[in-house]
Structures are given as C-alpha cells and as structure tokens.
Amino acid sequence: MRKISYVKAINETLRQMIETDKNVFLIGQGVTSPWYVGATTVGLIDRFGSERIIDTPVSENGISGAAVGAALAGMRPILMHPRMDFMYYAMDQIANQAANWYYMSGGQVNVPLTIWAIINRGGEQAAQHSQALQAMFMHIPGLKVVMPSTPYDAKGLLVASVKDDNPVVYIDDRWLYNHVGEVPEELYSVPIGKGIVRRKGKDVTVVATSYMVHEAVKSAEELEKEGIDVEIIDLRSIKPLDEKLLFNSIKKTGRLVVVDAGWKTCGVGAEISALAASNVFNYLKAPIIRVSLPDTPAPASSPLERAYYPTSDDIVSAVKSRFTEE
C-alpha cells in the first residue's frame, strides 16, 4: 500500500472531505499560513477559496462560537486550534455550548463539529506553547475525544470525526507529523471508541495515547531483550474509551502501565487506572503505574525539557518496576 506522512494524511483528508461534502469547511487561525499548522493545510486555499478555508483573526472564543453556530445551522465545520494552550479562551464555546447543546435542547439540535486541536510542544517553547489538554476535554460530557497515533488513523479518525453528529475533539501531536505509514487513497473511517492492539504480548499491558504509542513500541523492543513480553494498546479514542479491549488485555497480562503525555493529576492515566481498578482488580498482579508529565508547567531550557517529557526509557523503568515489587 501507498505510504505517506501523517501530515500528508491530514492534508489529503481535509481536501477530500471538503470536496465530497458541501457542508464541510475549515476555519481557524493560520489555515492559510505557511508555518502555523505544518503542511496540513497546504494548497487548500487555492483549491477551495476563502469561503470554505477561513483564516481568522486571533479570536479563539468568537471563532469557536462561530463554528458551533455554523454547525447548529447545518454545516459540518472543522475548527482548527493550532495550539491547545490558546483553547482556554474558547472553553465557553466548547464546554458550555458545543458539548451541552444537544442535551439542553432535549436531543433536538446536535452539533456536528470537529475541533481539531494541535499539541505543539518542545523546542523550548515553555509553559504557554506546549500544552496537551486531552484530559480536560475528556472530562466534559457531550464531547468525544480522539488521538490518532499513525497516518492511517490520522485520516480515518478525521473522517469519522467530521461524519460524527457530535462535537469531536481531534487531537494531534506535531511530533507525529513526519511519521510515515500506509494510508489508502480513498476515504475510510476508523470507528470512534475503538482502540487497537499495536503489539501482542503476555506479561504486561501498556496503554498509550498518541505519540506515546511509538515510545511504547520502542520500550517493548528494549524490554523484549530482557524477557518481558509487552502488549501495547493504542486507545485512539479516549472518549468513548474501548473498555473491553483494555479489560481483556489486563485479564491476560495482569499488569497495567498507562502512558499519556498529559499531566498526571486527573489525567487520562488516572481515568484508565480507575477503570481498571474498578473492573478487573482481581486480575492485577501488581499495582497500576502511570507514565505522564509531572504536575508542573512546561519549562523552556532544553535540559529541563528533556526531563519533562516522558520517553521510552520512562516506560521501560515503569514496566520493570511492575516485576520487582512483589
């Protein structure tokens, strides 16, 4: 099959979705900028014009509201936030309006909106240019949250998000943009709410999200040398979450390591740990452990940054610690 980059997969999907559905349009800061969103939006403005590729002023709250309003009037907007840090400005429109509208209207008026949120970290960008807010969105009833880790899923989950009748927060990490993988040319959906086993193993379950799936794969190669057989689950959707896949794996391995590059407290790992503890406690042979960001803002200086972001080494240590505690 054809191999393309993650960034190309997003670009192609945007083009195909806008081409095939007259209700789809792209709106956000920098969608015509050469550097804001990598190469994900390259060429779209030339193809579709400014009516459906809407570059916007720096007004996160107002523009997010406009996207929600357009969805209420029959469109399927893709609202792009080039940095998650700035989304706090838009929380009213996302959490109060988009997420609640269907419920508040007694199931009469839905919000078919894709909120494309980019994690743009590293490079000494510090506390306000680095955030990964998946847990915050996962907390809110009425929002779905997906985090594709491969070019294939980047396309399939973007299609599924746009086709979904609800607000979906589609989170990608720019560290994934140059990853290359098999991607069919035609449109296809990856179902929201379904995880996938990236590596089969029998000793320990490593559940990971987004970029951390690749770090988990690296760690598994390392651990294999030491005789530890790791099963890796890529959640793909953190809400709804594929509980069955998760529980079945834990029942098999008896050990759980949760890896998510968001903050620790009330993070994705906390939720998964609670789910596991509440549902498959009796299968656990060791306490659950989380690999996450520490509960601190992102630093600037490179050495501090290196210490801040978890890597495969942290996963290796976390996994090993599950075998030494008894």
Partner 1 sequence: MKKKSGVNIPQNMLLKMYTTLVRIREFEEKVAELVSKKEIICPCHLYIGEEAVATGICSTLRKDDYVFSTHRSHGHYIAKGGDINTLMAELYGKANGCSKGKGGSMHLASPKMGLPGSAPIVAGTIPLAVGAALAFSIQKKDAVSVSFFGDGATNEGVFYESLNFAALKKLPVIFVCENNLYSTHLPVSRCLSDTMIYKKADGFGMPGIRVDGNDVIKVFNLAKEAVENARDGNGPTLIECMTYRWCGHVGPSYDLDKGLRSKEELDYWMNRCPIKLLDKFLLKHNILSESEKMQISKDIKKEIEKSVVFAKESPYPDEDKLLDDVFSGVKT
Indicate which residues carry an active-site annotation: 60, 129
Among 65, 82, 254, 262, binds partner 1 (CB under 8 A): 65
Contacts of 287 (CB under 8 A, 6+ apart): 322, 325
Residue ranges in 68-107 that form contacts with partner 1 under rule CB under 8 A: 68-75, 77, 92-93, 96-97, 101-107
Two tokens, residue 201: 């193993």
Contacts of 100 (CB under 8 A, 6+ apart): 141, 142
Strand (E) positions, 154-271? Answer: 168-173, 180-182, 196-199, 204-208, 230-234, 237-239, 256-263
Task: Confirm or reject binding of residue 62 to partner 1 (CB under 8 A).
Answer: yes
Q: Give which of 192, 305, 326, 312 is closest to 255, Cα–Cα.
A: 326
Contact region for partner 1 (CB under 8 A) — 49-57, 202-210, 216-224, 270-278?
49-57
- How far apart CA 87 and CA 122 sit, in angstroms, is 18
Alpha helices in 226-295 (DSSP H): 243-253, 268-279
Task: Confirm or reject binding of residue 59 to partner 1 (CB under 8 A).
Answer: yes
Length of the chain: 326
Two tokens, residue 152: 């294939």
Task: Confirm or reject binding of residue 317 to partner 1 (CB under 8 A).
Answer: no
Residue with smaller CB distance to partner 1, 170 or 175: 170
Residue with smaller CB distance to partner 1, 48 or 323: 48
Residue ranges in 272-291 that form contacts with partner 1 under rule CB under 8 A: none
Among 141, 227, 282, 325, binds partner 1 (CB under 8 A): 141
Residue ranges in 24-43 that form contacts with partner 1 under rule CB under 8 A: 25
Residue with smaller CB distance to partner 1, 167 or 181: 167
Two tokens, residue 153: 């899923």
Task: Confirm or reject binding of residue 116 to partner 1 (CB under 8 A).
Answer: no
Task: Confirm or reject binding of residue 110 to partner 1 (CB under 8 A).
Answer: yes
* Cα distance between the two ends of the chain: 46
* Interface with partner 1: number of residues (CB under 8 A): 44
Among 1, 2, 108, 278, binds partner 1 (CB under 8 A): 108
Question: Residue 269 gets which letter from DSSP?
Answer: H
**Residues near partner 1 (CB under 8 A):** 25, 51-52, 54, 56-57, 59, 61-75, 77, 92-93, 96-97, 101-110, 112, 141-142, 144, 164-166
